[in-house]
Structure formats: C-alpha cells, structure tokens
Amino acid sequence: MLKLGVNIDHVATIREARYRGRSIGEPDPIEAALQCETAGAHGITAHLREDRRHIQDRDLWRLREAVNTRLNFEMANSPEIIEIALKLKPHIVCLVPEKREEVTTEGGLDVAGHEQGIRSTCRRMNDAGIEVSLFIAPDPRQIEAAARTGSQFIELHTGSFADEFHDESRRAAELVRLVDGARQAHSLGLKVNAGHGLNYENLKTLFAVPHMIELNIGHSIVSRAVTIGITEAVREMLQLMRGYGK
C-alpha cells in the first residue's frame, strides 16, 4: 500500500502571516496533524527552516508528543538543526537543501558534492535510532552517492515532473527520469519516497513510478482544505492513491 505523509508546514504559514513572533495563533498545525491522522494519513511531515518562516521550535516538540503515526522532520544539514533533531528524536529525518531567498525548496540535495558531511549526519542519526531520507533529484550520480551515505531512504524530487505536467512531451521525459531513478535506488538497496508539487491532478500519472513507499504532500492538501476541510482533503488523496500497483 502506498502511504501518505502530510506536510503541515503551510498550516503554520497561514498562522505566521498574522501571529508571527507570538506564542499563540491559528490555525494550529498540531491540531491539523491530528485531523490528518484521523483521516488516515500514515505520517506527518514538518520542516523547521533555519529562518523559522513557518514551523517554529515549539511546534516540533508538540508534534513529537502528539503524533501517533510517524513524524518526518525535514531539515537542512546544518549544525544547529542537527542538534535539534538529535534531541527531538523523530522517527525519520529528511535532509533537504535550503536557501533563505527561496519561496519553497528548489531542487534536490547535492549529495555527490557533500557526501562526506551527509554521511557523517546519517551516521549520527542512525546511531540515535533515527532513519534518514535524502531529498534528491532523479539523477543517477546523486542516487549512487545517496547509497554510499548510509541513508535508508531517498525522496525523489517530483518538482520538475509537476512543473512540466501540462506539456505532454516534457512530462513524459520527467516521468522516465523518475521511473529510472526509482529502479536504480531500489537496486542499490534504498527505499523510495517521493514528493514536491504533487496534487489532485498529477498524482495518478506518477503511479508509473515503481517501488514507491510513501508520498509526502502538503501544499495541495492544505490548499484543498481551505475550501473543503482538511479531513476530506486527506480522504480524497488517499482514495486517489488506492489505485497504485493495480
């Protein structure tokens, strides 16, 4: 069964638009996380960015206590955030690239160019009982490097696929890259997740990609929830996902 991890960052984005710098505010990302679990989500994802633009430190600790499924902590490979992760002890961390000027995460992690440092972080996380995923583009060189780091998972960056979805030829090319990347990762012993830009329109096309374990989806579900409610948004996404592998 294909699993769904719901990224609740943008619930916090809405809150921070009005309540930034305050210890109160709505909507509450923890309550959203619990409703996602009630609807059937298999995990909750949250990204503590270095500039704290949405999720705040206090949110993480409350999530760690409240989440009953699986907490996926997205993080930059930076000393401050590494120490937070080791104290927090989420079920899994996903290392992502991070730039202050970007609106959202752009591109995959350059594992090949920073292999030694990433390997060190993977070792520290694994020694603490925390699994590791690396958010990377479906590039053979990056996948090979990921397999050498000691990470248990990769998360294939589906952003280019999502961006090119309405151009048939480009969409097809991006889908081939994802299919090949998933096969390569699986052959190297890596577990495969995927995420970024996935939505209610493009999801089923992604079913051509083999070996996927979990999809991490946030913005589309939160956007849908604005009009129909987050519980129904999660249920609709799960219904779409039930056709995988059939």
pLDDT tens, residue order, the chain (246 aa)? 999 999 999 999 999 999 998 988 999 999 999 999 999 999 999 999 999 999 999 999 999 999 999 999 999 999 999 999 999 999 999 999 975 554 455 679 999 999 999 999 999 999 999 999 999 999 999 999 999 999 999 999 999 999 999 999 999 999 999 999 999 999 999 999 999 999 999 999 999 999 999 999 999 999 999 888 888 889 999 999 998 986
52 Rama sector, left if φ>0, alpha if ψ -120 to 50, beta otherwise: left
Residue 62: the pLDDT is 98
Identify the DSSP state of 151: -
Q: Which residues contact 121 (CB under 8 A, 6 or more apart)?
A: 77, 82, 95, 132
Q: Which residues contact 71 (CB under 8 A, 6 or more apart)?
A: 43, 44, 46, 63, 64, 90, 91, 92
Q: Which fold has domain 3-241?
A: TIM Barrel (3.20.20)
- Tell me which of 37, 74, 155, 214 is the catalytic residue: 74
Residue 60: the pLDDT is 97
Residue 157: the pLDDT is 98
What's at 206, amino acid-wise? L
- Tell me which of 10, 47, 54, 157 is the catalytic residue: 47
Query: Catalytic: 166?
Result: no
Query: Catalytic: 157?
Result: no
Residue 67's nearest CA partner among 160, 13, 5 is 5
Q: Give yes or no for a contact between 139 and 111, defined as CB atoms under 8 angstroms apart.
A: no
For tokens 């009005």, the residue is 18
As a whole number of angstroms, the distance between CA 17 and CA 55 comes to 12
Residue 63: the pLDDT is 98
Residue 75: the pLDDT is 97
**Domain residue limits, the chain:** 3-241
Residue 70's nearest CA partner among 246, 193, 158 is 193
What six digits make up the tokens of 205? 């096309």
As a whole number of angstroms, the distance between CA 135 and CA 146 comes to 10
Pairing of strands 71-75, 43-47: parallel
The answer, as to whether pTM is greater than 0.95, is no
Query: Catalytic: 50?
Result: no
